[in-house]
Amino acid sequence: MSEEFYRIKRLPPYVIAEVNAMRHAARQSGRDIIDLGMGNPDHPPPKHVTDKLCEVAAKPGAHGYSQSKGIPGLRKAQANYYARRFGVELDPEREVVVTMGSKEGLSSMATAITAPGDVVLAPSPSYPIHTFGFIIAGATIRSVPTTPDEHYWKALDNAMAFTVPRPTVLVVNYPSNPTAETVDLAFYDRLVDWARENSVWVMSDLAYSELYYDGKPTRSILEVPGAKDVAVEFTSMSKTYSMAGWRMGFAVGNQKLIAALTRVKSYLDYGAFTPIQAAAVAALNGPQDVVEENRKRYQHRRDVMVESFGRAGWDIPVPPASMFAWAPIPEAFQDVGSLEFSKQLLERAGVAVAAGVGYGEEGEGYVRIAMVENEQRIRQAARNVKRFLSEGAAKPGETE
């Protein structure tokens, strides 16, 4: 009975949980912590969306089991979104499934299509479900870079040439969490050709579809003619409409993959609460000015962060999209590593960030800073950072 369970053994302790526990303890002791750690939107969803939720929840007939693959009106609303935003036609019956957040969609897809021992290509650093969804399903991960340059294509080709068994699935995520890197349509064009030539399924995570800046809209892999032959794409209402707690997302694209996901979900769940699905329809079909306002808010925070942290002595590359900055650890702290740096930043500057190592080996040397506090708090964080940097690094264990 003392043996560890097969899957649990494959799940390392959640690195970020350590800093989270410290942040919680600091707050409990009455300290003001500026929390730029988790990508949790700080704004409420639009009022017409919460109104719709309440209206439908008040109906006696709305409380039974819903439909696992999502109510028809919601699948249609998602198809309409792809048509107006990307010019992509989708069949709401066979090419769209509603998921309980894109995280659930990715992990249920992994369950649906993975055989034990399959090799999956996933980015490093990455949002953890890109690797652990498949690890839980029994796969082995081979890491590929996130930066979409020639090294990336070389890494993909090497992976196909030198891995036995040959990889079956490739995960891509642009705008990337955590690196905020983006790609253009030419990248997806080449990727679709590559996937077809190598008989690899592509899972594209487009959770930050609407958080792009400087007037450069994100692209969808499904814009490439023939992409549906090899790809599915996951989107989310969490960041676009600030509905993270609602657990509402979608998978769209290849019919075989969508059918597999729908089948597994039909065994696992009864779908999201119907009022939530009805309110999600209201969000997708209603006025979209809130999406633009959201985008402007994050872009302004980004500009404030890059400028004020830069003046504090910490140069942060300007993220072109997402709600994160991916910041190299300041020179004086490079030896201590991202986890220890994050702890010192929390203890000594009252600023919580996410240690890069929590996103995989290649994340070491960086921290991820989420733009989830207002301008004033970001400026306060920069002042604290300035003081902290001027004091220099403490030795590990020297923090209070």
Ligand X SMILES: Cc1ncc(COP(=O)(O)O)c(C=O)c1O
> Contact residues for ligand X (CB under 6 A)?
39, 101-103, 127, 173, 177, 205, 207, 236, 238, 244, 249
How far, CA to CA in Å, does 315 sit from each of 59, 167, 309?
53, 38, 7
Shortest approach of ligand X to residue 4 CB, angstroms?
Answer: 27
Residue 258: count of CB within 10 angstroms of its CB: 24
- Give the whole-angstrom CA distance, residue 48 versus residue 68: 25
CA–centroid distance for 399 within its chain: 31
Q: Which residue is nearest to ligand X (CB)?
A: 101
Nearer to ligand X, 238 or 299 (CB): 238
Helix (H) or strand (E) holding 173: none
The token pair that represents 213 in the structure block: 């800046």
Shortest approach of ligand X to residue 236 CB, angstroms?
Answer: 3
- The set of residues, in sequence order, having a beta carbon less than 8 Å from that of 392 and lying 6+ positions away, is 332
Helices (H) and strands (E) counted in the chain, each on its own, are 13, 12
Shortest approach of ligand X to residue 207 CB, angstroms?
Answer: 4
Please name every residue paired with 171 in a beta bridge, in sequence order, or none if there are none. Answer: 203
Nearer to ligand X, 103 or 265 (CB): 103
Q: Token pair 């794409």 is at which residue?
A: 233
Cβ(354)–Cβ(18) under 8 Å?
A: no
Shortest approach of ligand X to residue 39 CB, angstroms?
Answer: 4
Nearer to ligand X, 50 or 380 (CB): 50
Cβ(251)–Cβ(97) under 8 Å?
A: yes
Nearer to ligand X, 46 or 178 (CB): 178
Please name every residue paired with 369 in a beta bridge, in sequence order, or none if there are none. Answer: 325
- Give the whole-angstrom CA distance, residue 145 versus residue 155: 7
Shortest approach of ligand X to residue 388 CB, angstroms?
Answer: 27
Shortest approach of ligand X to residue 266 CB, angstroms?
Answer: 20
The token pair that represents 161 in the structure block: 């040439």
Shortest approach of ligand X to residue 302 CB, angstroms?
Answer: 16
Nearer to ligand X, 56 or 211 (CB): 211
- Give the whole-angstrom CA distance, residue 96 versus residue 68: 12
